[in-house]
Structure 1
Amino acid sequence: MPTPAQQVAFGRPAAVGGSFAGDRPTPPPRPLPPPPPEAVLRAFAPAESGARGLQEPPGGRPGRRRTATGPWWKADARSDPWRDPYAPAGLGGPAVYDDEAGQPGPLVVDAKGRRKLRLRDLSVRVSVLVVLAVLLVAAVGGGAGYLLTRTADETPLLAPGTQLNEVNEGVAREPGSVADIAERVTPTVVSIEVRLGEAGATGSGVVIDGENGYIVTNNHVISGADGVEGAEIRAVFFDGSGSAARIVGRDPASDIAVIKVEKPGLLTAALGSSDAVVVGDPVVAIGSPLGLASTVTSGIVSALDRPVRLSGEGSDTNAVISAVQTDAPINPGNSGGALVNGAGEVIGINTAIASLGGGSVGLGFAIPIDTARDIAEQLISTGQAVHASLGVNARSVTDGTRDGALVVNVEPDSPAAAAGIREQDVIIAVDGEPVGSSEELVVQVDAHEPGETIRIELVRGGSSTTVEATLEQA
């Protein structure tokens, strides 16, 4: 129901009786269209005055059927009301279809609105064309399938002189890539073969002085041949040549040894600095794992300053090293080989692996090159290496909140005895550096030279105290 406001705005005025006011203006009459031009009359008007329908087709009377020249003319064209411009127009009934679907032509729409093709309404000519097209496609497809799948029995099995294609462009290897490092460093790494009668062992080594033939390796690789009659040590180089080697010196306390070959002109490895190494640096391990010479593996530095106790089986090695840990695969035979950084510099000597089944599980340990360089220089100079000693035996302990090294034995007249260290003392720091295990205590002491004085913090009877000890030569 309209509101009173809507009635006022849109309702019929009271004085108006119809839909429109009586004084509405009458529209002007429409002008009649102009007569057609003369040219149109000549082209389309009947030929005779008063005639009805269209003119005769060009060239004569209409034919009995449509042709290419007269496609719209038939014999009954003149009586076709749709062609007669004078035929009267009228409103007829709706269209009537002669089929049950109610739709003429070959395309019909069913009750669900789907369009379908009704084949019976197709002309014979269209049907023949469709059949021929299907047969043509089938023939072409069948012929192609036959040609592609037939067996060429006549082709010979062998083709003498056949040459396969070859890529001419070389593969670019970026400087610092594993391939680039391997190419530069592998010639400086040797395989070491040790023979003791019928038994033998293999390891690796790194050329540190090519002019004089010095090679650094692990003590546990060659210690079994030292002083044994008939024992042989042989170095096998990158080019496959070999040379007998002699032991220059070995150090069981660091697991470093140096051997010498009489083969001048060897390529010397570039020794880097382990102090510049950080966790995450890419590294490459090169050596002879499992006797497979010149093997290259890669990984990263996964930890630094990892205390690792070394005790080679069948060797007098008894060392604790502050190792460079890597996930580059290292296996037996890698010992004494090179751990190399991205610049191709040796930063460690591969020494040990952490394994549950005897093979590499992704954790390897290398002696830092700074330590290996110092020990090698001493061995080349004097045949032996010097280490500092505190004079205690200890084992790792913890009280749940603090770790340390429990002193289980103090050597008489040792620096520890002179400093007042007693058995059952727990050493927790050396020169302010925490000591969390017996291995860390050995590493901390070995980092100093004989004659140096160190401050040792220890726990005794529940209280902490600090003493000073002057180290002596081991």
Structure 2
Amino acid sequence: MNDQTEANKSVVRVSLLWLLLGAALMVLLGMGGGVLVNLIWSPTVLPLTEGQELITTTVQEVTISPNKAVAEIVDKADKSIVGITVKDATNKTLLANGVVVTNDGLVVTSASLPKVDLTAIDYLGMEAPLSVVGSDELYGLTYLKFEEGVVGPLDVRKEGVSAGSELLLLGRAKLTFLPQVEKWGLKEWILPPEISPRGMQRIWRGTMLNDPTLTSGALIDDEGRLAGLLMNGPAGLAISAEDLLISMQRLSQGKRETDPLRDLGIKLHFNLQTSSTDGRQFTPQITSVEEDTPAALAGLKVQDVIVGINGNKLSWDKSLVSQIMEQPVREVTVKRSNRAEDIVLTINAKPQ
């Protein structure tokens, strides 16, 4: 009995050993078969055709610095942006955006405002009453001032802005008065449409926006300075800081209501003309001459094209209004359709 049991145990041990040896042999055969298959059926690598580049996997480094820079610019400029609303309204909604431009609390906006008591809501949501200083109709701007409190001003850019520049458009949301930001691209300088303020001889055209709350928003450059003001969002029209500075100078000199073109007795239509000899020329054309004005007494006529003031040639990028205001007009040089040469006319002061 014991002998039979021992025999059975031996059979079992021999059977397990063979199973382990068989499994090991199968693994070795599988590995060897894989190597053999790769040698016999190795994949064909196609050569690169002309102009084709080898594609390699790369890991792109992601940075948040552009967003961080924008956030820093907005955070700084937002402190000088106010929402203008009706003073005693129960549910206040945004009428216009305003920008603080001087240390004594002067606010400028390109929006037309109703003749009601107004208040400003600043970046903290605090209210401060505003008083209307007046409008500069030549440039389509309205000035207001804080009756109390101080809000830091935004620096106004003094250099020109080139077409193709990217700016930030900053305003306040209609109901919450929180900052609202859009990217705004300057596409080109254009002659102003007929409905534009009559003192502007060129205007920005850029990104068109359907949101009316951003009209009168501030256009901010990459250094956080005020570069312009949006005047018409859907049309993408804006006034540059250059014209804003001229208007602010008129205000500081007490000449906000002065219209040098009206004082001369003329109205103009701004044009650009090109020629093979002189290139692009700024050619404002007279559309009307009032009787008994310096222009009429000097002999200026409708359809005359002004080419010079006081012996200085006109330039599209230099404001004609500014030129006339810098010094009294003594001479006007014009082109007249029936004359080959320019005509120089002497301007005398308006008779009393």
Q: TM-score, normalised by structure 2?
A: 0.64
Name which of 309, 313, 326 aligns with 1:432: 313
Distance 1:191 1:472, change over 3 A: farther
Name which of 289, 293, 301 aligns with 1:414: 293
Distance 1:391 1:425, change over 3 A: same
Q: Give the match for residue 184 of structure 1.
A: 76
User: AA paired with 1:457?
Assistant: V
Q: Deviations over 1:63-119 (max 9, x none)?
A: xxxxx9xxxxxxxxxxxxxxxxxxxxxxxxxxxxxxxxxxxxxxxxxxxxxxxxxxx
Write the distance in 1 (CA, Å) between the matches of 2:255 and 2:88. Answer: 23
The structural deviation recorded for 1:351 is 1.9
User: AA paired with 2:98?
Assistant: G
1:393 is aligned to 2:285:
no
Distance 1:184 1:383, change over 3 A: same
1:256 is aligned to 2:256:
no
Q: Give the match for residue 247 of structure 1.
A: 132
User: AA paired with 2:313?
Assistant: G
Which structure has more helix as a fraction of its residues? 2
Distance 1:208 1:289, change over 3 A: same
Name which of 300, 303, 319 aligns with 2:188: 303
Q: Give the match for residue 345 of structure 1.
A: 225
* Native 8 Å contact 2:138 2:200 kept in 1: yes
Write the distance in 2 (CA, Å) between the matches of 1:434 and 1:332. Answer: 33
Write the distance in 1 (CA, Å) between the matches of 2:149 and 2:76. Answer: 19
Tell me the percent identity: 17
- Matching of residues 1-400 of structure 1 within 5 Å: 173=65, 177-194=69-86, 202-210=95-103, 212-218=104-110, 220-222=111-113, 224-225=114-115, 231-273=116-158, 275-288=159-172, 293-304=178-189, 306-309=190-193, 311=195, 319-327=199-207, 329=209, 331-353=211-233, 355=235, 363-366=236-239, 368-379=240-251, 382=254, 384-389=256-261, 390-395=264-269
Write the distance in 2 (CA, Å) between the matches of 1:234 and 1:298. Answer: 28
Q: Unaligned regions of 5+ residues in structure 2, if any?
A: 1-13, 15-20, 27-62, 276-280
Secondary structure at the counterpart of residue 463 of structure 1: coil
Q: Deviations over 1:2-46 (max 9, x none)?
A: xxxxxxxxxxxxxxxxxxxxxxxxxxxxxxxxxxxxxxxxxxxxx
Write the distance in 1 (CA, Å) between the matches of 2:303 and 2:342. Answer: 14
Q: Deviations over 1:417-460 (max 9, x none)?
A: 2332123434456643367xxxx99x534543151345423123
Write the distance in 2 (CA, Å) between the matches of 1:380 and 1:248. Answer: 11
Distance 1:396 1:285, change over 3 A: closer
Q: Unaligned regions of 5+ residues in structure 1, if any?
A: 1-67, 69-124, 131-170, 226-230, 356-362
* Native 8 Å contact 1:248 1:379 kept in 2: no
Q: Deviations over 1:289-332 (max 9, x none)?
A: 7666421122343334x3324748xxxx6553532443375842
* Native 8 Å contact 1:247 1:260 kept in 2: yes
Write the distance in 1 (CA, Å) between the matches of 2:287 and 2:341. Answer: 18
Q: TM-score, normalised by structure 1?
A: 0.49
* Native 8 Å contact 1:203 1:289 kept in 2: no
* Native 8 Å contact 1:208 1:268 kept in 2: yes
Distance 1:319 1:421, change over 3 A: closer
Name which of 304, 314, 337 aligns with 1:460: 337
Q: Give the match for residue 278 of structure 2.
A: none
Distance 1:286 1:421, change over 3 A: same
* Native 8 Å contact 1:309 1:321 kept in 2: no
User: AA paired with 1:286?
Assistant: L
* Native 8 Å contact 2:109 2:143 kept in 1: yes
User: AA paired with 1:320?
Assistant: M
Write the distance in 1 (CA, Å) between the matches of 2:156 and 2:282. Answer: 36
